[in-house]
Amino acid sequence: MTDTLYREAILDHYRNPRNRGTLEPADFTYEDVNPLCGDEIRIDVRTDGENVTDVRFSGRGCAISQAAVSMLMEMVDGRPLDEVKAISREDLLDELGVPISPARMKCAMLGLKVLKAGIYGVPPSDDSL
C-alpha cells in the first residue's frame, strides 16, 4: 500500500467538517483565496474579549485545505485569544500529521492565515478583543 497523504483523520475532517457555517453577527469575519487553485475560506469568530466563544468556517477547497481548517476550528474553539494568536504553522502541521509538500503548504495554511488576519485585523485596543 502506498503511503498516503489522505490518512483517515484528514478524510474524517474533510467529510465531517467541524464548525462549518457562518455566524451572524460575528465579532470579526475574514476571508481569503488561494489564487493558485481558487480555494476560498471564510472564518467568523465570536469572542467575549478574552476567549473565542464561537467560531465557524465556510468556503470550498481541496481536502487538505478543508481538513486543515476544520482541525483548526477544534484547536481554537473556546480557547483564550492569546493562545489562538500563538498557534504556529508547526502546531497545525502536527495536527495534520502527514508530510505536506511545498506545493500543498498554501492549501494547508490557508485557514490559519485567514484566522490570523482576522484576529490581527482588529486593532488591539478594540474592546471586542
Partner 1 sequence: MVTTRTGNAVDWVRIRDEFPILASTGPGGQRLAFLDSAASSQKPEQVIAAVDRFYRETNANIHRGVYDLSERATAQYEAARHMVADFINAASAREIVFVRNTTEAINLVAQTWGRRNISAGDLIAVTTMDHHSNLIPWQLLAEEKDAHLEAVRVTDDGRLDMEHLGELLAKGPRIVAFPHVSNSLGTINPAAEIIRLAHDAGAVVVVDGAQSVPHMPVDVQALDADFLAFSGHKMLGPLGSGALYGKLALLDAMPPFMGGGGMIRKVGLTHSTWADVPARFEAGTPSVGDAIGLGVAVEYLQAIGMDAVREHEQQLTACAVDRLRDVPGIQLFGPDDPDARAGVLSFTLGDIHPHDVAAILNEENVAVRAGHHCCQPLMDRLGVVATTRASFYVYNVDEDVDCLVSGLHRAQAIFAS
Nearer to partner 1, 37 or 117 (CB): 37
Nearer to partner 1, 5 or 86 (CB): 5
Rounded CA gap, 92 and 128, in Å? Answer: 26
Q: Minimum distance from CB of 112 to partner 1 (Å)?
A: 18
Nearer to partner 1, 76 or 110 (CB): 110
Q: Minimum distance from CB of 118 to partner 1 (Å)?
A: 23
Rounded CA gap, 49 and 62, in Å? Answer: 33
CB-based contacts of 11, cutoff 8 Å, min separation 6: 63, 67
Q: Minimum distance from CB of 63 to partner 1 (Å)?
A: 5
Scan for cell 470550498, then name that residue: 60
List, in sequence order, every beta strand (DSSP E) within the chain.
Answer: 28-34, 39-47, 52-60
* Contact residues: partner 1, CB under 8 A: 2-6, 11, 36-38, 60-64, 104, 107
Amino acid at 39: D
Nearer to partner 1, 2 or 125 (CB): 2
Q: Minimum distance from CB of 76 to partner 1 (Å)?
A: 24
